[in-house]
Amino acid sequence: MNELKIEDLTCYRGENLVLKDLNTKIKSGETLVIRGSNGSGKTTLLRVLSNFIKSYNGKILFNDQNVLEDSNYRYFFNFVGQKNSLKDNLSVKNNLKLWEIIYQKNISYSKLLEDFNLLHLMERDVASLSDGQKKCISLLRLNFTESKIWYLDEPFVFLDDENSQTLIQKIKNFNTNNGIVIITSNINLQNIFTNEIKI
């Protein structure tokens, strides 16, 4: 059983107080939705949790160990931000190849693309894809690591109903396998994921 605990988290960006005395915890098999208006600090919170931002007050504990002191923490999570991490001038296949190298994991591209019914896009240049298609491909990065936590920053933006359902199913499957998911969202997802905090 894994547990992620946020204790008295306060974070400044420049002189602006973005996160103030945030406390919450989340266990294996749960999904937490972070809601808030634009600029409320949702992305900052995910970047803090992912250790990209290290200057903050308070503690983030994963299985009672401070994530700032745990050199293995980076292997435990997968972060998919709002940027797609795709090279526009390359084909989808070549982008997957680059991820395969950096994540050092061999994976079947066809099987991967079938997740979102994107097999027909394999040889297409990323520049020619729609924003929704790019978003789906960026979400395929979740398959490249055996992580215990997924941090997803606005994952439903640009997705149509069918792909949103596919993503929801992937999140639920990950929860079933004891994974922890933290999602930021502008839209109300309470009818799907009940665990929600507002910042």
Partner 1 sequence: MFALLKRDLYLALYSSSSFFYTSSFFVLVLVILPFLFGTNDVQLQVLFKGIIWIGLSLSILLTMERIFNADYEDGNLDIILQQNPSIEVIIISKYITHWVVYCLPLFIVLPILSFLFYVSLDSFFLIFLNLFFGSLGMVFIVTFVSALTLGAKRTIFLKAIIVIPLFVPFLIFGTNLESWPILLALSMMSFVLSMYVSAYGLRLYVE
- Number of other residues whose CB lies within 10 A of the CB of residue 126: 20
Site for partner 1 in 153-192 (CB under 8 A): none
Go through the chain and tell me how many residues it has: 199
Give the range of 20-28, 58-66, 74-82, 177-185 binding partner 1 by CB under 8 A: 74-82
**Residue 64 backbone dihedrals phi, psi, to 5 degrees:** 65, 10
Q: Is 150 in the site for partner 1 (CB under 8 A)?
A: no
Q: Is 106 in the site for partner 1 (CB under 8 A)?
A: no
Q: Considering only residues 54, 69, 161, 176, which one is a binding residue for partner 1 as defined by CB under 8 A?
A: 54
3-class state of residue 192 by DSSP: coil
Q: Is 85 in the site for partner 1 (CB under 8 A)?
A: yes
Give the range of 32-40, 53-61, 62-70, 175-183 binding partner 1 by CB under 8 A: 53-61
3-class state of residue 101 by DSSP: helix
Q: Considering only residues 8, 25, 57, 87, which one is a binding residue for partner 1 as defined by CB under 8 A?
A: 87
Contact yes or no for 171/151 (Cβ under 8 A): no
Q: Considering only residues 15, 38, 69, 104, which one is a binding residue for partner 1 as defined by CB under 8 A?
A: 104
Site for partner 1 in 122-141 (CB under 8 A): 138, 141
**Both structure tokens of 53:** 């931002």
Give the range of 24-32, 34-42, 52-60, 116-124 binding partner 1 by CB under 8 A: 52-60
Q: Tell me the closest approach of the beta carbon of residue 122 to partner 1, in angstroms.
A: 14
Q: Tell me the closest approach of the beta carbon of residue 153 to partner 1, in angstroms.
A: 10
Site for partner 1 in 21-50 (CB under 8 A): 50
65-66 sheet: strands from edge to edge: 16-27, 3-13, 57-62, 65-66
Nearest CA to 199 out of 14, 49, 15, 3 is that of 49
Q: Tell me the closest approach of the beta carbon of residue 12 to partner 1, in angstroms.
A: 11
Q: Tell me the closest approach of the beta carbon of residue 178 to partner 1, in angstroms.
A: 21
**Both structure tokens of 94:** 């070549």
Strands (DSSP E) contained in 29-186 are 31-35, 57-62, 65-66, 77-80, 149-153, 180-185
Judged by CB, which is closer to partner 1: 26, or 86?
Answer: 86
Q: How far apart are CA 92 and CA 95, in angstroms?
A: 5
